[in-house]
Amino acid sequence: QVQMAESGGGLVQAGGSLRLSCAASRSIFSLNHMGWYRRAPGKQRELVASIDNSGTIRYADSVKDRFTISRDNAKNTVYLQMVRLLPEDTAVYYCNTVPIPTTIWGRGTQVTVSS
């Protein structure tokens, strides 16, 4: 049973842009605040952006003013628009519930930013 399916990653040069999408199961999406997490090589997974059901948004300081999270409730989908990407943004990106992620993670989508 797939709960989250991330897509949209790729290889870009520093300064480039990507838009990530995450299609979530309705049972997960409709009842929960959603967030984008990332795990960089050798580092722990971190929450970079979240959006609740009323539209309240929060960002990690490292991505503020560069990343934009949004959700389409009709499509059970959450997006992450990323601009002015930096090499340190290289990571596998996942979506999951916030503040406590579910135990079943999607495969994630790889974002690689070259310098």
Burial class (CB in 10 A: 0-12, 13-18, 19+), 103: exposed
pLDDT in tens, 31-53: 789 999 999 999 999 999 999 98
C-beta separation of 57 from 80 below 8 A: no
pLDDT in the model for residue 73: 87
Q: Tell me how far apart the alpha carbons of residues 54 and 84 are, in angstroms, rounded to a whole number.
A: 28
Q: If you average pLDDT over residues 19-24, what whole number do you get?
A: 96
pLDDT in tens, 62-87: 999 999 999 998 899 999 999 999 99
Q: For the chain, how many residues are written?
A: 115
Predicted confidence band of residue 29 (pLDDT cuts 50, 70, 90): confident
Name residues whose C-beta falls within 8 Å of residue 44's C-beta, 6 or more positions apart in sequence.
Answer: none
Q: Following DSSP, what letter does each residue of 38-93 receive, concatenated?
A: EE-TTS--EEEEEE-TT--EEE-TTTTTTEEEEEETTTTEEEEEE-S--GGG-EEE
Q: What is the DSSP letter of 110?
A: E
